[in-house]
Amino acid sequence: MSVGFSLIDLDASSLGTTGGVTTLAALRSAGTNGGAPLAAIRLQPNLAASGIYNTNPELGRGLARRASDNGLLLCGVYGSFDAFDAEFDFDFPSTEFGISIGDWLGSMVLDFYSQGVQIDTITSTPYVTSNAKFFQSANLFDQVRVRANAATANWVIPQLYFQSQGPWRLYGQGCPGSNGIPSMALNALPRLGSVYAYTVLNMPLSEVFFLNVYGMSSNLDPTLGALPASLNAFGAPGCFANCEINFMQFVQSANGTSTISLPIPNLPGLANVTFMHQAYPFDPTINSLEFTSSRAVRVVILAALSP
């Protein structure tokens, strides 16, 4: 994978014993690099026959479905399992995903979704061995559905790979203003040689500007100290500074929204650089500071797409 990742290897002893079942919590904890950002997993029965794990088993035991209770089966070599299709939900939007397949020599079909809407479909090259294959989408996705490209196929999953940090991730706490809690939505991914764009929402309808800040840290600001920093002492109770303030700008808004575009130079050294930003809408009727605050966004600059 071209980004930091968390690997779930189904041979991990912490997942349980071969032939038994495991749990979502155990799968999350078994992920490398601090745990896998796996929000949900569903193994849905399909119309293929039950299988015996005896084809390309080089990577050890695999995840499969146990028909008796729909459990997450830790299937060992020559173990039996019920055929299934798989769905994975992620903690945050991602652009890359990896999976190894055992007991199947054909191709797999991966459907990518964002907030329930299908955005992409990729058919893999054949899994001649169980080595993992990696998939990249030009758009953010928060769910992947995986199935074989043959209705008679059954298969198991020896390894899973997840991005360990999404390229665009909201964090921290916002505070309510006269039009709700200010929020942000992604319009275009932060990628080398492209324009990163996002929209600030839920700002006061009657005001025409907000303070936009960028920073390189989510832990410490030289002036405010440890982050998040309460703005109570400045006259904004319940509001927080969630990112360092290295640069600030006043930006116009209209009807409570504003879209910001930020060109990203095509400089290889910027790939995987992380920065943060946060919005402070002008809202004079809410508190004595006359500003509220949004949640912050952690942004990771992606490499340019391969031609």
Structural domains in the chain plus CATH codes? 5-166 (2.60.120), 169-300 (2.60.40)
**115-124 long-range contacts, Cβ below 8 Å, gap at least 24?**
115/142, 116/143, 123/149
Q: What is the mean pLDDT of residues 185-192?
A: 86
Q: Report the sign of the C-alpha dihedral through residues 15, 136, 41, 147, in that order.
A: negative
pLDDT at position 265: 95
Lowest mean pLDDT, pick from 45-49, 74-78, 163-167: 163-167
Say if residues 142 and 90 touch (Cβ distance below 8 Å): yes
- Mean pLDDT, the chain, integer: 93
* CA distances (Å), origin 18, targets 40, 271, 278: 22, 41, 47
Neighbouring C-beta atoms of residue 49, cutoff 10 Å: 10
Say if residues 149 and 127 touch (Cβ distance below 8 Å): no
Task: Please list, in sequence order, all residues whose beta carbon lies within 8 angstroms of the beta carbon of residue 150, skipping any fewer than 6 positions away.
Answer: 106
Q: Which amino acid is residue 256, in one-letter code?
A: G
Could you give phi then psi for residue 14, rounded to 5 degrees?
-70, -10
- What is the rounded distance in angstroms from the CA atom of residue 58 to the CA atom of residue 231? 56
Closest CA to 110 of 133, 82, 76, 78: 133
The pLDDT tens digits for 240-298 are: 999 999 999 999 999 999 999 999 999 989 988 999 999 999 999 999 999 999 999 99
Residue with more model confidence, 168 or 41? 41
Say if residues 207 and 282 touch (Cβ distance below 8 Å): yes
Whether pLDDT at 186 is above 80: yes
52 — pLDDT class (breaks 50, 70, 90) = very high
Whether pLDDT at 159 is above 70: yes
Residue with more model confidence, 161 or 304? 161
pLDDT at position 267: 94
The first and second tokens of residue 273, run together, are 């650089």
The separation between CA 154 and the C-alpha centre of its own chain, rounded to angstroms, equals: 28
- What is the rounded distance in angstroms from the CA atom of residue 288 to the CA atom of residue 283? 10
Torsion-angle region of 158 (φ positive above 0: left; ψ -120 to 50: alpha; else: beta): alpha
- What is the rounded distance in angstroms from the CA atom of residue 294 to the CA atom of residue 160? 34
Task: Please list, in sequence order, all residues whose beta carbon lies within 8 angstroms of the beta carbon of residue 14, skipping any fewer than 6 positions away.
Answer: 26, 29, 30
| Residue pointed to by tokens 């706490």 | 173
Q: Is 283 strand, coil or helix?
A: coil
pLDDT at position 71: 94
Task: Please list, in sequence order, all residues whose beta carbon lies within 8 angstroms of the beta carbon of residue 177, skipping any fewer than 6 positions away.
Answer: 202, 203, 204, 281, 283, 286, 292
Whether pLDDT at 150 is above 70: yes
pLDDT at position 306: 55
Q: What is the mean pLDDT of residues 157-182?
A: 91
Torsion-angle region of 2 (φ positive above 0: left; ψ -120 to 50: alpha; else: beta): alpha
Query: Helix H segments across the chain?
Result: 24-30
The separation between CA 188 and the C-alpha centre of its own chain, rounded to angstroms, equals: 15
Closest CA to 187 of 295, 69, 299: 299
Whether pLDDT at 203 is above 90: yes
pLDDT at position 108: 98
pLDDT at position 275: 96
What is the model's pTM? 0.66
Whether pLDDT at 305 is above 80: no
pLDDT at position 140: 83
